Amino acid sequence: MKVAVVGATGLVGTVMLKVLEERNFPLTELIPVASEKSVGKEITFKGKKFPIVSMDTAIGMRPDIALFSAGGNTSLEHAPRFKEAGTTVIDNSSAWRMDPAIKLIVPEVNAHELSIDNKIIANPNCSTIQMVVVLKPLHDKYKIKRVVVSTYQSVTGTGVKAVDQLMNERNGVDGPKAYPYEIDLNVLPHIDVFMDNGYTKEEMKMVKETNKIMSDDNIRVTATTVRIPVMGGHSESVNIEFENDFDLAEVRSILEKSPGIIVVDDVANLKYPMPKDAHEKDEVFVGRIRRDESAPKALNLWIVADNLRKGAATNAVQIAEYLLQKELV
């Protein structure tokens, strides 16, 4: 089982390697891939050194699986080349997500859609992943009509430059900027570029990806995505309107029994999910579960997950685990 990690030196790529190691993924050969300037350098995996190779070298080694986290343009150019070599690509960029021929997968929700013919598989947006893990079991029971989500997203979602900007501002150091404004002691209601409809690309990703993953275009979604000066994970305030009424105790029970979810909801003892608690965890945390008293059949939730793990690296590795388990690779 040869596994290539494309973008092995980036934030998500580094976490992919960590997750593969922690989950003891049964690979026999690791092929770390990065830009030309990194070729020849070494990364450490399970105590052993592996040289970083070029894209062409990696394709020639014909890996069974390639985990991509190197940006959309890189994926568009090179994922088909890996596919031609017989490799199954799991891509973390936005390049393939809305392509009707490509599966957009969150294992807890729709892994059953995968077949041996799916040689390029898309990993959804981080903020979408954690939300649909929670929406799916509730949709199965009560049928969701509408979702209103506001996100509170970690700077790690932008990358190393954004983390550096936050820490530089915190330490009074002038340096390169990832954002058009200061992020420390501030909140930016702006993730990705603005579109003609006034929404950002990140907001529209949440709308379209949710419909695709849930296989239901009747679920109406509206989103406001916000960058905040934290690291460790993304948080989301989610309001869900159902077709059918629900019992709060049953909602909690459904979520507690659903794979990949941990319920932290004890307001009497001030227990609720926070990014610090989700940091370096693979699960999605849910709390502040309460009825929306302004609307019938509506529910409020607070959802938190580590955006580099479940929101990216872990989800990709879980897809790879599913492919192995079902002998699809």
- Tell me the C-alpha to C-alpha distance, in Å, between residue 303 and each of 10, 190, 219, 247, 285: 26, 20, 19, 19, 6
Q: In whole numbers, what is the pLDDT of the chain averaged over residues?
A: 97
Largest CA distance in the chain: 61
235 assigned binding-site residue = no
Angle CA 82–88–94, to nearest 5: 80
pLDDT band at 47 (very low <50, low <70, confident <90, very high): very high
Any catalytic annotation for residue 234? Answer: yes
Tell me: pLDDT of 36 over 90.
no
Look at residue 71 in the predicted model and tell me its pLDDT: 86
Q: What is the pLDDT of residues 185-223, one digit of tens each?
A: 999 999 999 999 999 999 999 999 999 999 999 999 999
Query: Could you give the domains of the chain?
Result: 2-123+312-326 (3.40.50.720), 127-154+187-305 (3.30.360.10)
269 assigned binding-site residue = no
**Least confident residue range of 7-11, 295-299, 307-311:** 7-11
Average pLDDT over every residue of 13-33: 96
Identified catalytic residue from 78, 139, 234, 279: 234
Work out whether strand 284-291 and strand 298-305 pair parallel, antiparallel, or are unpaired: antiparallel
- To which H or E segment does residue 144 belong? strand 144-152
Tell me: pLDDT of 50 over 90.
yes
- Own/partner contacts of 82-87, CB < 8 Å, gap of 24 or more, are 82/4, 82/58, 83/119, 83/120, 85/59, 85/60, 86/62, 87/4, 87/59, 87/62, 87/63, 87/119
* pLDDT more than 90, % of the chain: 97
How would DSSP label each residue in 103-114?
EE--HHHHGGG-
92 assigned binding-site residue = no
Look at residue 161 in the predicted model and tell me its pLDDT: 95
pTM of the model as a whole:
0.96
301 assigned binding-site residue = no
Identified catalytic residue from 126, 139, 190, 279: 126
Tell me: pLDDT of 318 over 90.
yes
307 assigned binding-site residue = yes
DSSP 8-state class, residue 115: -
291 assigned binding-site residue = no
